[in-house]
Structure 1
Amino acid sequence: MNVFFDNCTSPVLAATLHGFIQHQGHAAAHVRDLDGLPNGRHSTDLEWIDRLRKSNDQWIFISGDGRVLKNPAERAALRSAGLHGFILAPAYQKTPLNQVASILIWRWPEILQITNLLQPPSMHEVPINRNGKLRSLPI
């Protein structure tokens, strides 16, 4: 399993999660570190979605921007790419980075379980509260 973090997240989150999951055979990468994007870190959502779709690897993505679900072209691309997506709840924007990283690590088993149980595409919101459940979003 590979985890992609878009530009609406900090590269620190990808590096932290990667350090936690690599011993399980998984990997995490930020958009700035992903090879094959036409405009590198400045690639559009449609460009990175297409890059993940064309990959032979299994990818999920984590974004801090729920607007990806409001743009019809991006929604269609996500559906056709067959990705599992996880959108960080708006409260993450005001949360210190170390706490966001700890919540992602806390949630990793749940994220992994969802990707194993559900057929892609799927979309979920990751709540800031550790006791809250991941909320399914329409795709």
Structure 2
Amino acid sequence: MNVFFDNCTSPILASTLHGFIHHDGHNAIHVRDVSGLANGRHSKDVEWIDFLRRSNDEWMFVSGDGRVLKNPAERAALRSAGLHGFILAPAYQKTPMNQVASVLVWRWPEMLQITRLLAPPSMHEVPINKGTRLRALPM
């Protein structure tokens, strides 16, 4: 499984999660580090969504911006791309980066299990509290 982090997340999150999951054959990458995107880090959401759709690899994405579900073009692109998406709850914006990274590592098994059990596309909100379950979001 490959995990894509968009511009609404810190590159620190991608590198931290990558260090944790790489030994199991998974990869995490931030948009700034993806080669092949025409506009690089400045790619619009529909551009990176299309990039992931065209890839032969299995992808999920993590975003800090729930507005991706409100824009009709982005929402349609997500549905057609068949991706599993994870949106960080608004509380992450006020949380220190080390704690955000720790919650993502904590949540990794649950996120991976969702991608194994549910057919894509799917979208879930990742709450900041470790005791709260991931919440399914409408696609």
- How many residues align structurally? 139
Aligned equivalents of 1:34 and 1:83: distance in 2? 17
Q: What's 2:67 paired with?
A: 67
Answering whether residue 5 of structure 2 is matched by residue 5 of structure 1, we say yes
**Per-residue deviation, residues 43-75 of structure 1 (Å, max 9, x unmatched):** 000000000000000000000000000000000
Q: What's 2:91 paired with?
A: 91
Q: CA deviation at 1:35?
A: 1.0
Amino acid paired to 1:20:
F
Aligned equivalents of 2:19 and 2:128: distance in 1? 21
Q: Which runs of 4+ in 1 moved over 3 A?
A: none
Q: Specify the SS of the correspondent of 2:8.
A: coil
Aligned equivalents of 2:14 and 2:71: distance in 1? 25
Q: CA deviation at 1:127?
A: 0.2
Identity, % of aligned positions: 80
Q: CA deviation at 1:81?
A: 0.2
Q: What's 2:102 paired with?
A: 102
Amino acid paired to 2:17:
L
Alignment gaps of 5+ in structure 2: none
Amino acid paired to 1:98:
N
Amino acid paired to 2:49:
I
Pairwise mapping of residues 1-139 of structure 1 onto structure 2 (< 5 A)?
Answer: 1-139=1-139
Aligned equivalents of 1:48 and 1:35: distance in 2? 11
Q: Specify the SS of the correspondent of 1:133.
A: coil
Alignment gaps of 5+ in structure 1: none
Amino acid paired to 1:110:
E
Aligned equivalents of 2:128 and 2:26: distance in 1? 24
Q: CA deviation at 1:20?
A: 0.2
Aligned equivalents of 1:82 and 1:123: distance in 2? 10
Aligned equivalents of 1:15 and 1:4: distance in 2? 11
Q: Specify the SS of the correspondent of 1:125.
A: strand
Aligned equivalents of 2:35 and 2:54: distance in 1? 13
